[in-house]
Amino acid sequence: MKTIDDLQVAGKRVFVRADLNVPLDGTTITDDGRIRAVAPTIAKLVERGAKVIVASHLGRPKGAPDPAFSLAPAAERLGEILGQAVAFATDTVGESARSVTAGLADGQVAVLENLRFNPGETSKDDAERGAFADQLAALADLYVGDGFGAVHRKHASVYDLPARLPHAAGDLIATEVQVLKKLTEDVKRPYVVALGGAKVSDKLAVIDQLLEKADRILVGGGMAYTFLKAKGHEVGISLLQEDQVPACQEYLARAEKRGVEFVLPVDVLVSAEFPDLKTKAPANPGTVAADAIPADQEGLDIGPKTRELYAAKVADAGTVFWNGPMGVFEHPDYAGGTKAVAQALLDSPAFTVVGGGDSAAAVRLLGFDENAFGHISTGGGASLEYLEGKTLPGLAALED
């Protein structure tokens, strides 16, 4: 896989497929981590005299323009980070895109409007997707893939466009792949995986693979309650995927057979109602044993004994991969479990990887120094699919 160091970019129009899919509150960016992550690649191209055309998706618009999903705020923030003006095209391949990109001088940057405003970006039809890729290719001379959060999607700008232009991986993707290989091919042991998040169904495929590779798997977040149910415990009104209980029972049995420590919460914070994430009003949670959740209560975070247990399981690790919060970290009364796991990673001598998505957002929201971790991924879903052993279309497209 070539990198941008292998490309002659001076005076060339370089199409950078970035991941600017940042969370918005109206037009206010609430977490700019993904923009900051791709900025060094763009800055390097600027310094080498490229005319940089940045493109991305944001959210899930229905293949048509929708102001709620405009990339205009992301373009403005990118300009602030780069310290230079960034032009903005109000469409993807239309008159504005053609005019803005044609007007770029060497070292200048433009951002196209949300790629998913065009139905060709996400189409299942190869011809429709290819036609959109042809229009994008007409805007540029070279292609740089640097949106790791999108490489698991067979989309026009990710999969089809690299076939139409000389291409290379950006520094962000190159780093992500290098890190993920340390989690799959060259693992320093003990290898500890901490998994959280809402749905156990989102993690079953990666658990299936990790049971062959990890030494310990620690489970928290909403997905933990399906595993607790699989062990025969009542979980009250906690988040539960009843249809996944048999699969969880199978994985628990496999872990025991293979000698993999599969660690579930021993206590949890509970409440009769979900906390108000807007006002952050005090929730006054109670703490109960994980096998004694009251029928009218739901678990919303791992408890203090579990936090200590998980920290101990991470303390002697050689490698730690963490994906998914341990509770409703957006509310201060239920952020303690996620904070404890993050701190455990910092205290460990291990090579630590935070697997993007909500985990990365939690690190920033809770005030941790991002640079203190071994690596913070920008691709939650893409990272998991890589660990599942799947071929990622966007990476395959960048291979020569």
Are 297 and 272 in contact, with CB atoms under 8 Å apart? yes
Interhelix angle 380-387/357-365, nearest 10 degrees: 130
Predicted confidence at residue 388, as pLDDT, reads 87
CB 16 within 8 A of CB 146: yes
pLDDT digits (tens, 9 = 90+) for 257-269: 999 999 999 999 9
User: Distance between CA atoms of 130 and 117, rounded to whole angstroms?
Assistant: 16
Q: Which residues of the chain have pLDDT under 50?
A: none
The pLDDT value recorded for residue 355 is 86
Task: Round to whole Å and give the CA distance between 272 and 269.
Answer: 11
Tokens, residue 211 = 């049971």
Q: Using one digit for the tens of pLDDT, what is the confidence trace for 46-84? A: 999 999 999 999 999 999 999 999 999 999 999 999 999
Phi and psi angles of residue 81, each rounded to the nearest 5 degrees, phi first? -70, -40
Segment (H or E) for 300 = strand 298-302
Q: What pLDDT does 284 receive?
A: 86
Q: Are 141 and 165 in contact (CB under 8 A)?
A: yes
Percent of the chain with pLDDT over 70: 100
Closest among 293, 323, 346, 350 to 220, alpha carbons compared = 323
Q: pLDDT, tens digit, for every residue of 334-384?
A: 999 999 999 999 999 999 999 877 888 899 889 999 889 999 988 878 888
Q: Which positions are annotated as active-site residues?
A: 34, 199, 357, 381
Amino acid at residue number 83: G
Give the whole-angstrom CA distance, residue 215 versus residue 197. Answer: 21
**Chain segment 233-249, per-residue pLDDT in tens:** 999 999 999 999 999 99
Q: Residue 50 burial by CB count (10 A; 0-12/13-18/19+): exposed, middle or buried?
A: buried
Report pLDDT for 186: 81
